[in-house]
Every structure is written in C-alpha cells, then in structure tokens.
Amino acid sequence: MMLRTRALVTGALIAAPVAALAVMTVDRSRARDLELALGRVVRSQVNAQVRERCESDPRWFLTGPLDGRPRPGDPVDPNPDALPPRPKVNPQPFELFAYDEQFAGSSSAAPRFPLEMRQRLQARAPETAAPYETEAGTGVQIAVPTGWIGGPCMYFLGRMEPQPDQSSARIWLFLTSFVVVFGAALAAAAPMVLRVRKLSGQAQQAKNDGFSTLALDARKDELNAVTFVYNDAVNELRLRKARVDDLDAGLRRFVQSTEDDVATPLRALERTLALAAPHGDEPTALVQAHDLAARVDNLTAAAKLRMSTHAGDAGDVDLTDLVVRVVARHEPLARAAEVSMTMALPDLPVIVRADAALLERTVANIVDNAVRYNRPNGSVAVSLTRDGDRAFRLMVTDTGGGIGAEDFKTLTAIRRFRGDEQRNRRPGAPGLGLAVAREVADRFGLRLDLRRPAAGGFEAEISGPTA
C-alpha cells in the first residue's frame, strides 16, 4: 500500500471514532444540561401553591387542557403498570404529570411511570432522571418526590421533548467532526509524505546519476537518518564497484592474454595435427589438442559471460559462415573418430544479433558433443534453415548411443553435465560446454532445445530471430 493511501486510510480510521465520540459527548452534554434545567423547573413546582392546585385538580394543574386529552371525570386505571393508549395531543416542549403513592397517573394522558425510575424513588433517591424515546428523537424526563404523602400528587414526572431535527443535527455534527479530524490528520501527515516523496525522487535521481549521495535535510529526524544510511550505502557501493571494475579489468586482460598466448597456438597446433594425421588412425595428439583447445575456449567464454562490461558486446553475425567454419574445424576430428559429417545451408545468409565469438563457441560445443559422443561409422548432420523471414533454426543431429531418460531429465535441469558412461567415454571432454551454450542462448534471446529422437541418437536445436 502506498504511503499516501496509508495516510488516507489511517486518517479515516482515526476520524470516524473521534467523530462518533464527539457526537456522543455532545449528546451527553446536552442531555445533562437539559436534565439540570428540567430538574430546576420540576423542583420549583414543589410548593404550597402548586400543591393546592394539584390536589384540587391534578389533571390540569400545570399542563392545562390540550387537544385530545381526556376531560375532567374521565376514568383513570389505578394500576400503574397498565398501558392505556395515550391520546394523541399536540406536542409540547414541557409537560408535568402528577402520580400518587402507587405511581398511578391522575389521568389517562399521563404516561406509564418508568419502572427503573420508580425503583430508584422507592429506594429513597431524592430524584431520578432518564431519557425516553419518541418519533422525533430522544427526550429527557425527571421524577421528583414531592413529600405530599397520601395525596394524588406524591410524585412529579417532568418531560422535555427532544430538540427538532435531532437526527439531522447528529449527522451534521458527525460529518463536521469527521472532516475536521480527517483534515487535521492529513495536515499532520502531509509534510512527512511530501518529505518521503522528495527523498524517493532524490534517490531515483541519484541512481540515474550513478548513485550519487543525497543532500542532508536541516531537520534531524528519522528520514534524515535514512539519508545517512543511504549515503553510507552509496559510498560502500562505490568502493565495491571500484573493486569489481578492477577485477573485471584484470579478468579481461587475463582472457585476452589466454586467447593470445594459449588458445591461438592451440588452435594452430590442432590444424597442424589435423593435416598430419593419416586417415583411419587414432590420432591421439589431435584429439588431445582439440580437447585442450575446447577447454580453454570454454573457460574463456565463461569468463567473458561473467564480465559485467561484456554484456552488450553484440553485433550482426553471419550464421551461415559461422556454421561453415565450425564444421570445417571438426571434420578432422570426425574423420579420426570414423564419423561422417553432412551440412545443409540456406541459399541466403542468416544474420543474427549476438557476440560472434560466444555464438561460435556455442555452435562448436554442440557439434563437438555430437562428434565425440557418436559411434564408429556414425554420422552428424548439421542443418541451418530459415524459419520464415524473421527466424532461423540450426539443427545438429547425431547417431550416437543416445542418453537415458533419467540422464536426459538431469541434462535439461542442470547447467553442467557430461552425460552417462556411454556418452562420456572420452576422459578429456569439457563439461562446461553445455553450460556455456545455454547461457549464451539466454544472453542473446535465442533458444536451445535438446531432444531424444525415437530412432536413437541425440538432437540439439538453436532457434531465434534474425537481425
């Protein structure tokens, strides 16, 4: 979750309960004020003059006749728990009712005396207050004992109607409180969010500038500490990069030296031995020279792939000429192993985007495996075709002893592999070849597929787009 979104959600989670608490607090405060005011009014009626009036006609002594109220002489149920239907009357902001010692109202217009308030008064409480619900909202009622024992006016129950539009007032109060608290929370979080965004932008710019350090803020807080840590990490990264660059430069010099001083003489020796080897004999020197040259070439290719500065050394490579060179270089080895080689090329050149040396090493490794793991009087077929106008397929198929199902599963899963005993009969075979081939294919957007044909042998295919 983004920091801005988190700030909005947090602000809402804080504002909602605070706004609800504000509504409850205001409601309680208003109810308390109404109780105090109503209590003073009701207690003010406990005097001799009101007593005389109430005992003479308790139905009319304060509230007066209202539309729909019963007339004098109407029967009143003496049972205080009875719930006679109250007549509909015009609402009054204040009403006062009289009750006898059994809490029976003096007329049918008097509401049932609340049970909890009755229990409190019976427990000698000086007065008691409680809310009551109406269609318009919550009102306030208070009961006071008059001390006029034995008469019809032993208890007074005063009621004050709820304020008009009480629900709307609560909603507006909630919304106002919510907006105020939410705005305050956002105002408090905004500077931090802005600083984090600014710090993020500075870090991105520093990355684009080669990981430069960030300017410290004048405020000493946690974000400034993050800037300190970032700058320390940048300085450490620079030191490590300098060491990597030194190692990379040394590795590049070593690879160049290896190619110049070792690989080139070995390839020249291999060509000389190929010309000197008689047909049909077992030219041990040729095989050993070829194995050693292949091993050096694979180690050089692996070193290049590990160079951080070598990733972009790619250009247009004529794959047709490359295949011709690889096949020509392996023909002496194939003759020595009594393996025939055939080659099929398209009419038009196949141009691919890759590193020429690495791609040639990849094709050479696949052809080399097809020759060295073959059988006497076997064959190797190298076929390069165009797959439409924008793709190619290079297929290398041999008629060797093949590879078992379990070994093939391992071959497709593990980068370094040399095969089973039958395909590994030459002790000098370079085990790094397949790993180099796979990594080169991945590096330049090509695909390397290995298959076990039903007729036996082994099949390797390199495919991908043309330039």
Strands 379-386 and 340-344 come out as: parallel
Residue 57 lies inside a defined structural domain of this protein: yes
Burial track 376-410 (b if 16+ CB lie within 10 A, e otherwise): eebbbbbbbeeeeeeebbbbbbbbbbbbeeebbee
List pLDDT tens digits, range 424-461. 444 434 457 888 898 899 889 999 999 988 888 999 99
Question: Which pLDDT score is estimated for 197?
Answer: 76
CATH number at residue 286: 3.30.565.10
Do 379 and 248 have their domain in common? yes
| 298 within some domain | yes
Query: What's the domain count of the chain?
Result: 2
User: Which of 169, 204, 220 lies at the terminal end of a domain, its last residue?
Assistant: 169
Are residue 325 and residue 451 in the same domain, yes or no? yes
The pLDDT of residue 188? 79
Please say which residue of 152, 169, 186 terminates a domain.
169
At 79 the pLDDT is 61
**β-pairing verdict for 137-145 and 155-160:** antiparallel
Q: Could you tell me if 333 and 460 lie in one domain? A: yes
Same domain, 152 and 249: no
Please identify every stretch of the chain with a pLDDT value under 50, giving residue numbers as ranges: 65, 67, 280, 282, 416-430
Would you say residue 25 lies in a domain? yes
Sequence-separated (6 or more) residues with CB below 8 Å from residue 269: 289, 293
Query: What pLDDT sits at residue 441?
Result: 92
**Which CATH number characterizes residue 134's domain?**
3.30.450
pLDDT score, position 367: 95
Choose one of 169, 187, 210: the last residue of a domain: 169
Same structural domain for residues 457 and 316? yes
Q: Are residues 150 and 264 in the same domain?
A: no
CA 322/CA 361 separation, integer angstroms: 10
Q: How many residues in the chain?
A: 467
Does residue 77 lie in a domain region? no
Examine the domain organization and report whether 274 and 376 are in the same domain: yes
Question: What's the pLDDT tens digit per position in 341-356?
Answer: 999 999 999 999 999 9
- Give the pLDDT confidence score for residue 76 in this predicted structure: 55
Instruction: Let me know if residue 50 belongs to a domain.
Output: yes
Same domain, 385 and 288: yes
Q: Does residue 360 lie in a domain region?
A: yes
Q: Does residue 91 form part of some domain?
A: yes
Boundaries of domain holding 105? 3-68+87-169
Shared domain for 160 and 288, answered yes or no, is no
Which residues are bridge partners to 380 per DSSP? 341, 398
**Is 238 part of a structural domain of the chain?**
no
Instruction: Note the pTM of the prediction, 2 decimals.
Output: 0.48
275 and 133, same domain (yes or no): no
pLDDT digits (tens, 9 = 90+) for 137-161: 788 999 999 999 988 899 999 988 8
